[in-house]
Structure 1
Amino acid sequence: MADAPEILWLPDVEEHDYPAAESYLGLIYPEGQAADLVARLRTAPLVRFKAKDIFRASGLSSLGVSNARVEKDRKKIEKGTPLSPLLLVRDTANGKVVVADGYHRLCAIYGFDEGAWIPCKIV
Structure 2
Amino acid sequence: MSTPDLSAADLWLPDPEEHDFPAAADYLDLLVDAEQVERAVTALRQAGTITKKAKDIMRASQLPLLPADNIHVRHNIHKVRDGKKLSPVLLVRGQPLIIADGYHRVCAAYHLTEDLDIPCRLVSP
TM-score by length of 2: 0.90
Give the equivalent residue in structure 2 for 1:32: 35
Give the equivalent residue in structure 2 for 1:89: 92
Equivalent position SS for 2:29: helix
1:61-103 Cα offsets, whole Å, 9 max, x none, are 1110221111100101111111100000001xxx221000000
Give the equivalent residue in structure 1 for 2:118: 118
Give RMSD over aligned pairs: 1.5
- Check 1:38–1:2 CA distance in 2 against 1; reply closer, same or farther (3 A cut): closer
For 1:51-62, list aligned pairs within 5 A: 51-62=54-65
- Check 1:16–1:8 CA distance in 2 against 1; reply closer, same or farther (3 A cut): same
Q: Which runs of 5+ in 1 are unaligned?
A: none
Q: CA shift at 1:32, angstroms? A: 1.3
Give the equivalent residue in structure 1 for 2:101: 101
CA distance in 2, matches of 1:84, 1:56: 20
Detail structure 1 runs of 4+ shifted over 2 Å in the superposition: 1-7
Q: Which runs of 5+ in 2 are unaligned?
A: none
Q: How many residues align?
A: 120
CA distance in 2, matches of 1:37, 1:59: 20
